[in-house]
Structure 1
């Protein structure tokens, strides 16, 4: 895979560069220190995946992702952050990021996430998922329970039932029941329509 790396912290960027060079299937085609440079290189080089720091000067990682999506560019994007910020994580996932990782992630997990993203899959780790689930807010009229609100937030992040179960320390069967209840209350037939409906209703 051809990867574009963007991080304004020189030591972090250089460390990632050295580690990524150990993977036979990854070629870092460019490494930049700010969002505007990342956007320009993404347009020029057409990489397979972008590994973006969330907080960068001139244009942050979310700004890069948002601009690319507005341009119709569906390149795989993995966001990287020093801080566990549920607002940034949820915003990034809504914009189509494939994952949101903290910089203390194990390198094997980073590689797994990058490979999954290029394959079109999302991998969300429980530490991030727990923070997202805490951001749930009550729906205005649909009488969603607190647990259903948390599950809905994680559904919006692209989590599978198994991932939600791990994040919330529940059985997968319990999560399936919550999902079924959410679909019934939103009067939709699948998870994608549930998330779209929730966004339209201001529940997310």
Structure 2
């Protein structure tokens, strides 16, 4: 029998032990390794070659959402189930965007956990339908949700005062491409000037906090 290879990522040892114990008696499941934070998990994936990862949402050094995104970028065939102690719509949204296969509460029963593991292992999505609906509705209403990821990067650079030439250099694209991105951003946001786009980005917190702090200190 082919066993589903599972990796457990959680910063609490007792949680990792409990999950490992839950799988030990299952003939079709095997825990191939553990990690106590996202950075450690990212380093171990290539070596452990898991098919499915159980990932805690909140961890130090590198949280579960960021780790999920990085792993899915590098290993798109790996299925990831996010684990959390309580429902958080922001985390549900982030999980969906990061490519997670599901979002599970830690207090679910062993039977529910095993059922979820087996469903996720064959590619099924396990994020609760109602939670997904609410999350998607919020995503539609989120400022800047109409922008692509690259356009959001450009918007952040506009907010930092970058010219089209500087944006092109920062993103390794042509100046014409940078100019087109700026035009698309203004059109999508219903704005006419890049200064308005800069204000919009700051007011709606579309500029990463580290970037804002860097600018304030420069």
Match of 1:96 among 91, 94, 99: 99
Q: TM-score of the superposition, structure 1-length normalised?
A: 0.62
DSSP 3-state at the match of 1:5: strand
Name the CA shift for 1:130/1:48 in 2 (closer, same or farther; >3 Å). Answer: same
Is structure 2 residue 43 aligned with structure 1 residue 40? yes
User: Number of residue pairs matched?
Assistant: 142
State the partner residue of 2:8. 5
Is structure 2 residue 114 aligned with structure 1 residue 111? yes
Taking the TM superposition and a 5 Å limit, the aligned residue runs for 1:61-100 are: 61-100=64-103
DSSP 3-state at the match of 1:112: helix
Q: TM-score of the superposition, structure 2-length normalised?
A: 0.58
Taking the TM superposition and a 5 Å limit, the aligned residue runs for 1:116-131 are: 116-125=119-128, 128-129=131-132
State the partner residue of 2:59. 56
Name the CA shift for 1:44/1:73 in 2 (closer, same or farther; >3 Å). Answer: farther
Paired residues of 1:100 and 1:124 also in contact (CA < 8 A):
yes
Give structure 2 stretches of 5+ with no counterpart: 144-187, 190-218
Aligned-CA RMSD value: 2.5
Match of 1:29 among 25, 28, 32: 32
Taking the TM superposition and a 5 Å limit, the aligned residue runs for 1:161-180 are: none
Q: CA deviation at 1:54?
A: 0.6
Structure with bigger helix share is 2
CA deviation vs aligned residue, 1:168-188 (integer Å, no higher than 9, x gap): xxxxxxxxxxxxxxxxxxxxx
Q: CA deviation at 1:124?
A: 2.6
Which runs of structure 1 show a deviation greater than 6 angstroms over 4 or more consecutive aligned residues? Answer: none
Larger radius of gyration: 2
Q: CA deviation at 1:93?
A: 1.4
